[in-house]
Amino acid sequence: MFKTIYDYSDFAQDETKADGSRVYVNASGVGYPSATTVLSILNKDSINKWRERVGEEEANRVSKQATTRGSKIHSLTEAYLKNEEVDFDAVKASLLDKEMFNKFKSILDPIDNIHCQELALYSDFLRMAGRVDCIAEYNGVRAVIDFKTSNRPKKKEYISSYFMQATAYAIMYEERTGIPVPFIVILIAVDGDEPQVFVEKRDNWAKKLLETRDLFESMNNK
């Protein structure tokens, strides 16, 4: 059984803009871009090159498949951590989805003392916001825990944006609650392979996060 020790309401309300990007508005009416939107500038060129290489139709098909599978794994994970029944039929899970999640459970079990799941946060310091997957203890240390899915195993050097995203959530959470979160944990469910675990110190990624935010703001003339 997983133990939840806090019960927060969202600190901001998310809104989708006409261009598809997300903005989170706090109680004072201040809107901030999502961490995902800010960090997307790091991969924009490589994604555009990939789309040109495979063609728009194939790129859209792959992207939709990845998004759908990611949503299913997230839903199953959230239910599992809430000690609810994991209902594969409810999310229309395929055999591959079931296999992926059943392997994923082995790296979810070290989670305990859950602070929140799917909580909307923001930071005036970062001028960013977002919805964190989970904040809890992982193997006894407090961490932002982000859930990802992938068609193949990831190399650490290619997922800097994952670490920066989790770092942003850790800073947001401390700003909103006063509770420091010193670690970030990225858990990746991999299609047809074993899941991956990456554990990093939050402060190792803060400088790069701030540099990326400044670049994003300069590109958007803020």
CB-based contact 24:15 (threshold 8 Å) = yes
**Number of structural domains found in the chain:** 1
Residue 188: pLDDT over 80: yes
Length of the chain: 222
> Cα separation of 162 and 154, whole Å?
11
Which residues fall within 8 angstroms of residue 209, CB to CB, at 6 or more apart? 126, 164, 167, 168, 171
| Confidence bin at 187 (pLDDT 50/70/90) | very high
Continuous segment of H or E residues that includes residue 45: helix 44-54
Percent of the chain with pLDDT over 90: 75
| pTM summary value | 0.92
Domain presence at residue 39: yes
For 50-91, the pLDDT digits (tens) are: 456 656 676 566 567 767 788 999 999 999 999 999 999 998
User: Mean pLDDT over residues 93-112, rounded?
Assistant: 94
Percent of the chain as helix, strand, coil, to the nearest 5: 45, 25, 30
Domain presence at residue 8: no
> Cα separation of 170 and 199, whole Å?
14
Determine the pLDDT at residue 197.
Answer: 98
Beta pairing class for 22-25 and 31-33: antiparallel
Residue 219: pLDDT over 80: yes
Residue 32 burial by CB count (10 A; 0-12/13-18/19+): exposed, middle or buried?
A: buried
Beta pairing class for 196-201 and 128-138: unpaired
Residue 186: pLDDT over 90: yes
At 37, list the tokens. 């939107």
Percent of the chain with pLDDT over 70: 89
Domain presence at residue 136: yes
- CATH number (domain holding residue 163): 3.90.320
Domain hosting 62: range is 13-219
For 27-54, the pLDDT digits (tens) are: 899 999 999 999 998 776 565 554 566 5
Determine the pLDDT at residue 42.
Answer: 79
Phi and psi angles of residue 31, each rounded to the nearest 5 degrees, phi first:
-105, 135
> Cα separation of 103 and 113, whole Å?
22
Determine the pLDDT at residue 37.
Answer: 92
Domain presence at residue 2: no
| Confidence bin at 115 (pLDDT 50/70/90) | very high
Determine the pLDDT at residue 63.
Answer: 62
Domain presence at residue 166: yes
Among candidates 188, 208, 216, which has minimal Cα distance to 101?
A: 188
Domain presence at residue 202: yes
Domain presence at residue 5: no
At 118, list the tokens. 């799917």
> In the predicted model, what is the mean pLDDT of the chain?
90
Determine the pLDDT at residue 199.
Answer: 98
Residue 121: pLDDT over 80: yes
Span of 3-7, 49-53, 56-60, 188-192 with lowest mean pLDDT: 49-53
Torsion sign across C-alpha atoms 194, 199, 204, 206: positive
Measuring CA to CA, how many Å separate 162 from each of 96, 136, 147, 206, 217?
A: 24, 17, 10, 12, 20
Domain presence at residue 103: yes
